[in-house]
């Protein structure tokens, strides 16, 4: 396997809870997404948590770091909530891991009829295979360096810092 | 605009014809796909034809070539039918255009509930921004060089030649 | 117009709010649903509110009642939240309106890839045209009399009381 | 079981064939549709063929007739291609079966993102439970008597004959 996909949760993986009309985690949709995408890249999935990025702790980020370091692969995709994606990207960037790490996620969960989730996952698969060592965010059709990206919370899009 | 998206048709853009139960072209779905994807990359669309790749002539490929050369952009995505995508990629590669050109498409049209189209378009947007000058095919979660790709028509997947 | 469709909100009409990851009302999906359904029945839409059924007041139910009575039509569909659908059905049944009134809604909003909303709306359109004067709930492929239906909140299905 | 659902094929059950870009039969989608619809009516499925209605023979229609007669149920839904739905409805109506028989189908297959299939199946489930003995077609939000319906092939809608 050449690519490790670390699943941590976020909007992309939310499901609808009929009991209360809210979105919640049941299980990851990433396996179904990659089947629908007919993705034949050489990848391995590793679901380490299913969390809103707001709920991520330093301990969770350390687990992601450890998972990146210990992976057999040098190319790593992390699916992640968008609200704190920049924070995790910077956290990992500071660790100077000698791997290509691409974070992605979605503004609209995969289970909706219209969703950015499949497109974003596609950009991440391509980026992780072509970008040099470093930490990146693949969102909105762009690939950002961890140190030059911010989430615009009014527009719900990722933008360059400078 | 930094990216030119040249639309030529193919499975990705087929619609259902109620009159006879067959798939046909009405108009391109690429604008709707990029809206759904929340793509904010700096792109410009140019629909030059809507054709099955089986129906493409040398004249059509020359038009694509000309469109690539004349574009203001150095980063070009071509949406294309999968059956003859490799042939067009090689045709363009032989022209030695000093641009990054990425062909993509879909095995299942965008209008189906389950489709590889959004994922593939995502891989193309990422690849065109990160790959060096050359002609590539972005399909099945991989980015192939034009001279090292073949469509496996039994499995309906793109594979490395060697 | 032979059928009046009174829109009051409920799960069927919820949309996803990217700002906070919750479901909320933007506008009714019923017009888009009836277009997708290729519904050619002679109907007229009347959106009188967009509310969770939990938030409905007696005043709201009186407005529904008044809307039923004043309608030119004798066949009335009401789209409604499921949690208090039985309560509204009974409220209207007690008014002894000389019309056929069918309440329907959905357990999963229309905007999801998988949803019961179109099927339920179909059952309501058929029921309102074939049932005698009275108040009914069309859910889960069944047509219930207002006085013999309960929502099973564990299973999220509507069932006969007796 | 109170309702028998006889599956005979038609557009509703078509799937996409990646090999040639045409629609074909793989298996019936009706079980998945009724799960998505959260249908809890007391029904039993019986898939007797998967055919375009153009390909139906008198022998096929006799098999449908026989299946209706022999069924334990008095309420029967038949999923059927739209092109010859009227012909089958009249064929069955002439047999004067003492049951309520409702034919339905779709103009757009279930596997598309936008489809009339779930709505139509909903109208059929409601109609079969409320209509008296007879043969009906449930399409376009209406329930037609077998002797007063025609398919308008220009508009692709079912209409009253008179």
3-state SS string over A82-115?
CCCHHHHHHHHHCCCCCCEEEEECCCCCCCECCC
Q: Do B112 and D111 touch (CB under 8 A)?
A: yes
Q: How confident is the model at residue C162 (pLDDT cuts 50, 70, 90)?
A: confident
Residues of D whose CB is below 8 A from C122:
118-126, 141
Give the gap in angstroms from C-alpha C58 to the nearest C-alpha of chain D.
Answer: 30
What CA–CA distance (Å, rounded) separates B22 from B112? 13
Task: Tell me which long-range contacts A144-151 makes (C-beta under 8 A, separation of at least 24).
Answer: A146/A86, A146/A89, A146/A90, A146/A92, A146/A93, A147/A90, A147/A93, A149/A86, A149/A89, A150/A86, A151/A82, A151/A83, A151/A85, A151/A86
- Check residue D162 and give its pLDDT: 85
Other residues' Cβ atoms within 10 Å of the Cβ of residue A116: 29
- Check residue B5 and give its pLDDT: 98
What CA–CA distance (Å, rounded) separates A125 from C98? 61
Q: Using CB atoms within 10 Å of the CB of residue B162, give its burial: 0 to 12 exposed, 13 to 18 middle, 19+ buried.
A: exposed
What is the tens place of the pLDDT at every residue in C103-137? 999 999 999 999 999 999 999 999 999 999 999 99
Helix, strand, coil shares of chain A as percentages rounded to 5?
Answer: 30, 30, 40
User: 34-73 in C: which are within 8 Å (CB) of D?
Assistant: 34, 36-41, 43
Give the gap in angstroms from C-alpha D130 to the nearest C-alpha of chain B.
Answer: 30
Residues of D whose CB is below 8 A from C143:
126, 129-130
Q: How confident is the model at residue C86 (pLDDT cuts 50, 70, 90)?
A: very high
Residues of C whose CB is below 8 A from D126:
122-127, 130, 138, 141, 143
CA A26 from chain centre, in angstroms, equals: 17
- Check residue C90 and give its pLDDT: 98
- Check residue D97 and give its pLDDT: 98
Name which of A124, A130, A143 is nearest B143 (Cβ-Cβ): A130
Which residues have a Cβ under 8 Å from the Cβ of B35 and sit 6 or more positions away? none
Higher pLDDT, A119 or C1: A119
Report phi then psi at D104, rounded to 5. -145, 175
What is the tens place of the pLDDT at every residue in D17-59? 999 999 999 999 999 999 999 999 999 999 999 999 999 999 9
Average pLDDT over residues B16-23: 96
Residue spans of chain D under pLDDT 50: none
What CA–CA distance (Å, rounded) separates D16 from C42? 33
Q: Which residue of A has its CA nearest to B125?
A: A141
Is the Cβ of C113 closer than 8 Å to some Cβ of chain A? yes
What CA–CA distance (Å, rounded) separates A81 from A113? 19
Hey, is B144 helix, strand or coil? Answer: strand
Is the Cβ of B141 closer than 8 Å to some Cβ of chain A? yes
Average pLDDT over residues A77-89: 98
Residues of C whose CB is below 8 A from D134:
none
Tokens of C139: 């859910």
Hey, is C136 helix, strand or coil? Answer: strand
- Strand-pairing partners, residue D47, are D7
Is the Cβ of B128 closer than 8 Å to some Cβ of chain A? no
Query: Where does chain C show beta strands of DSSP type E?
Result: 3-9, 14-17, 22-25, 43-51, 75-79, 100-104, 134-139, 142-145, 150-152, 157-159
Residues of D whose CB is below 8 A from C121:
119, 122
Q: Do A156 and C111 touch (CB under 8 A)?
A: no
Q: Do C156 and A109 touch (CB under 8 A)?
A: no
Average pLDDT over residues A17-36: 97
Interface confidence: ipTM more than 0.90: yes
Average pLDDT over residues B102-109: 98
Q: What is the mean pLDDT of chain B?
A: 97
Q: Do B129 and A138 touch (CB under 8 A)?
A: no
- Check residue C1 and give its pLDDT: 67
State the pTM of this model: 0.97
Is the Cβ of A130 closer than 8 Å to some Cβ of chain B? yes
Q: How confident is the model at residue B162 (pLDDT cuts 50, 70, 90)?
A: confident
- Check residue B65 and give its pLDDT: 98
Subunits in contact with chain C (3 or more CB pairs closer than 8 Å): A, D
Average pLDDT over residues A20-47: 98
Average pLDDT over residues A42-66: 97
Residues of A whose CB is below 8 A from C156:
18-19
What CA–CA distance (Å, rounded) separates B82 from B10? 7
- Check residue C94 and give its pLDDT: 98
Give the gap in angstroms from C-alpha D98 to the nearest C-alpha of chain B.
Answer: 34
Subunits in contact with chain D (3 or more CB pairs closer than 8 Å): B, C
Give the gap in angstroms from C-alpha B105 to the nearest C-alpha of chain D.
Answer: 13
What CA–CA distance (Å, rounded) separates C158 from C137? 9
Tokens of C70: 């004043």
- Strand-pairing partners, residue D17, are D22
Residues of B whose CB is below 8 A from A118:
118-119, 122
Q: Do C143 and D121 touch (CB under 8 A)?
A: no
Probe site for chain B from D16, D111, D113 (most B CB atoms < 10 A): D16
Other residues' Cβ atoms within 10 Å of the Cβ of residue C110: 22
Probe site for chain A from B12, B111, B140, B141 (most A CB atoms < 10 A): B141
Q: Do A119 and B115 touch (CB under 8 A)?
A: no
Q: Do B107 and D18 touch (CB under 8 A)?
A: yes
Which residues have a Cβ under 8 Å from the Cβ of B88 and sit 6 or more positions away? B53, B56, B61, B64, B78, B80, B103
What is the tens place of the pLDDT at every residue in A95-118? 999 999 999 999 999 999 999 999
Q: Do D127 and C131 touch (CB under 8 A)?
A: no
Percent of the residues in chain D that have a pLDDT greater than 70, as a whole number: 99
Average pLDDT over residues B62-80: 98
Q: Do C118 and D118 touch (CB under 8 A)?
A: yes
Name which of A40, A116, A156 is nearest B37 (Cβ-Cβ): A116
Q: Do D22 and B23 touch (CB under 8 A)?
A: yes
């Amino acid at each position: 396997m050449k690519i490790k996909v670390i699943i941590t949760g976020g909007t992309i993986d939310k499901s609808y809870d009929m009991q209360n009309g809210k979105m919640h985690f049941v299980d990851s949709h990433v396996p179904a997404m990659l089947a629908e995408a007919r993705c034949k890249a050489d990848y391995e999935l590793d679901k380490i948590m299913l969390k809103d990025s707001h709920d991520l702790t330093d301990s969770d980020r350390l687990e992601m770091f450890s998972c990146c370091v210990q992976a057999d692969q040098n190319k790593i995709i992390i699916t992640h909530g968008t609200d704190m994606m920049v924070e995790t990207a910077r956290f990992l960037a500071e660790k100077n891991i000698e791997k290509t790490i691409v974070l992605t996620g979605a503004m609209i969960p995969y289970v909706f009829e219209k969703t950015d989730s499949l497109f974003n996952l596609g950009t991440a698969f391509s980026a992780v295979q072509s970008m040099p060592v470093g930490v990146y965010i693949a969102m909105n059709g762009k690939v950002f360096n961890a140190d030059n990206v911010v989430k615009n919370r009014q527009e719900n899009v990722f933008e360059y810092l400078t």
